[in-house]
Amino acid sequence: MIYQKIRIQTFLVFLLALPSIVLSDWELVNDDSHLNFVSFKAIDFAEIHSFKEISGSIDKNGKANLGINLESLETLIPIRNERMRNLLFETQIFPNANFYLQVDLDKYLNLSIGDFRNNEAKGRLLLKNKDIETNVKFKVTRLAKDIFVVSSTEPLILNIENLGLTEGVESLRVVAGLPSISKSVPVSFFIKFRNKGEQND
């Protein structure tokens, strides 16, 4: 019993001695993060769109989640914003989308400031009533002791049919009077994470 108590006390001392950066969650910094996608209409005309409000975190176990406020869609054309929110994403029913990913935090916590590591992992996208598994290629760069940036190294190509957005895209095509809208959508991202423990020190 005494030996067990000593082991527990030793373990607690070890935890207290660990840097807060290991034990704390990492929180997405919205103002310094970007999530963009490209739509192609009339065969070869491309337009870049973005979501202005994204949130997310990575916990000490490496569970990462990204929340997307679909109402924050910005296409630079107000009427198109409204149409895509209502006809495509149906934001009155599905206001948010989520992406989940498991990462090995130790690989990145060992990076020196200025260093980066490329990675590929399988994540889950929850959009409307669909739950899609997809591979994502990204680079993790350490900017400071408490700051990492995660950026796409290749566009994530999403298929409209797999996401259950075919009817919404067709509605957009008809209302806009377009001959076609591509069913493949490239997505890119630049996301900054700050350690909550270090931020509060």
Q: Note down pLDDT in tens along the chain; length 201 residues.
A: 555 555 555 444 444 444 444 446 999 999 999 999 999 998 889 999 999 999 999 999 999 999 999 999 999 999 999 999 999 999 999 999 999 999 999 999 999 999 999 999 999 999 999 999 999 999 999 999 999 999 999 999 999 999 999 999 999 999 999 999 999 999 999 999 999 886 544
In the chain, the amino acid numbered 73 is L
Residue 192 near residue 149, CB atoms below 8 Å: yes
The number of angstroms, rounded, from the C-alpha of 77 to the middle of its chain's C-alpha atoms is 24
Q: Which residue ranges form the domains of the chain, and what is each CATH number?
A: 20-200 (2.40.128.110)
In the chain, the amino acid numbered 121 is A
In the chain, the amino acid numbered 151 is S
Residue 149 near residue 191, CB atoms below 8 Å: yes
Q: How far is CA 175 from CA 47, 77, 151, in A?
A: 17, 15, 35
